[in-house]
Amino acid sequence: MGAKRFVAMLSVVAAAGVVQAVGAPTASAAPCPELYVVAIPGTWEPSGASPGAGMLAPVTSGLPSSVRTDYVTYSATAFPWESNVYARSKRQAVDNARGMIGAMAASCGDTRFAIVGYSQGADAAGDLAAEIGTGIGVVPPNRVAGVGLLSDPRRAESDVLIGPWVGGNGASGARIGGFGWLSADTVTLCAAGDLYCSTPEDDFVMRLAGFMAQVSDPTPATALSLRDEAAVIVRDLITAGGLPALMTQLDPGANDRRVDQLVDFYGSQVHTDYTRYVVDGSGTTATSWLHNWLAGKA
């Protein structure tokens, strides 16, 4: 049980991946598209020029001819024994996506942009959207047509949710400051029971694990936001009863229940089955809804 618990707890902090990292693709623009979609895949998914059959494939396949889609290449890893720890991997995705948008914007003054991401890719896509939406991004907010996030580990309950109501924030905590001017144009899709994007507020073990993933490679640029995010966890923990409340979630019985919860979670495939997760009364799935949403912005 000890080894099983250790593996299960490690799994909380990442959707681990082994995609080989290469440089960011250059967004050449000939001719200039009306809409340029930058897609950031999740872990264990192909990226770059050959997205294959990843979760975003049905989202981006078959869009109108006025749309160009490029997939971001990044390492999509999480642990020290992989190519990058989670925070460094995510930062690589943000940097590469930012570079692609900047290159297209420099060449095509009338092109608008959309950003979509899944899992760790949604984490990166959301962070990039927050940059742009708060006025410090590579393009002004009015050039972004929309941002779509599938299973965002930093989902906030206040984000625009498509589909049935789901409680809790993402495992890594909500983004301090939100999406700014892109708040109304950013949508999030989170299936009930997906612990990556829906962690109960009082589950401090999961929240701390998610936070540790975000701080796995801190930089001066992230220090302030990480400090604020840590303060939110500490505030909520004090409100819930302080250290004794945390310790009750770490006793042997609680640990065993958590192992069972994680085994059930991974066995359910809820995190990996958004092609069948229905989000409206017409039977539209999450990936189909995002596809139609992007097509409507072309």
Q: Does domain 16-198+269-296 have CATH number 3.40.50.1820?
A: yes
Q: Is 46 exposed, middle or buried (0-12, 13-18, 19+ CB in 10 A)?
A: middle
**pLDDT reported for residue 2:** 44
- Rounded average pLDDT over 189-214: 82
Sign of dihedral through CA atoms 253, 244, 171, 18? negative
User: Among 46-50, 122-126, 166-170, 221-225, where is mean pLDDT lowest?
Assistant: 46-50
Please state, in angstroms and rounded to a whole number, the distance separating the CA atoms of residues 52 and 71. 10
pLDDT score for 4: 39
State the first-to-last Cα distance of the chain, in angstroms, to the nearest integer: 52
Give the chain's mean pLDDT. 82
Residue 78: per-residue pLDDT: 55
Residue 205 clears pLDDT 50, i.e. is over it? yes
Record the tokens describing residue 279, joined without a space.
């989000």
Predicted confidence at residue 52, as pLDDT, reads: 60
Dig out the tokens for 102 from the structure.
């900047």
At 102 the three-state DSSP class reads helix
Please say if the pLDDT value at position 147 is more than 50.
yes
Question: Mean pLDDT: which of 14-18, 174-178, 180-184 is highest?
Answer: 180-184
Give the burial class of 260: count Cβ atoms within 10 A of its Cβ; 0-12 exposed, 13-18 middle, 19 or more buried.
exposed
CA distance 256 to 97: 40
pLDDT at 181: 97
Supply the pTM of this predicted model.
0.81
Query: Residue 185 carries which DSSP code?
Result: G
Whole-number pLDDT of residue 209: 73
**CB atoms near residue 265 (< 10 Å):** 18
| pLDDT for the residue numbered 29 | 44
The pLDDT confidence band at residue 227, using thresholds 50, 70 and 90, is confident
Q: Residue 149: name the closest of 194, 195, 191, 186 by CA.
A: 186
By residue count, the chain amounts to: 298
- pLDDT of the residue at 238: 83
* Residue 173 identity: G
* Two tokens, residue 253: 């019985």
More confident residue, 107 or 235: 107
Q: Please check whether residue 163 is in contact with residue 286, taking contact to mean a CB–CB distance below 8 angstroms.
A: yes
The pLDDT tens digits for 56-100 are: 999 999 999 999 999 999 886 655 545 567 788 889 999 999 999
Strands 160-161 and 186-189: parallel
Q: Which helix (H) or strand (E) holds 35?
A: strand 35-40
| Residues whose CB is less than 8 angstroms from the CB of residue 151 and which lie 6 or more positions away in sequence, other chains included | 42, 118, 119, 122, 189, 190, 191, 194, 196, 197, 271, 274
- Annotate 49-61 with three-state secondary structure: CCCCCCCCHHHHC
CB atoms within 10 A of CB 209: 19
Sign of the CA dihedral running 172, 177, 181, 184: positive
Q: Say what the pLDDT of residue 122 is.
A: 97
pLDDT tens-digit series, residues 230-278: 788 778 778 878 888 778 877 888 777 777 676 776 677 888 889 999 9
pLDDT in tens, 8-34: 443 433 333 333 333 344 444 458 999
Which of 166-170, 230-234, 238-242, 290-294 has maximum average pLDDT?
290-294
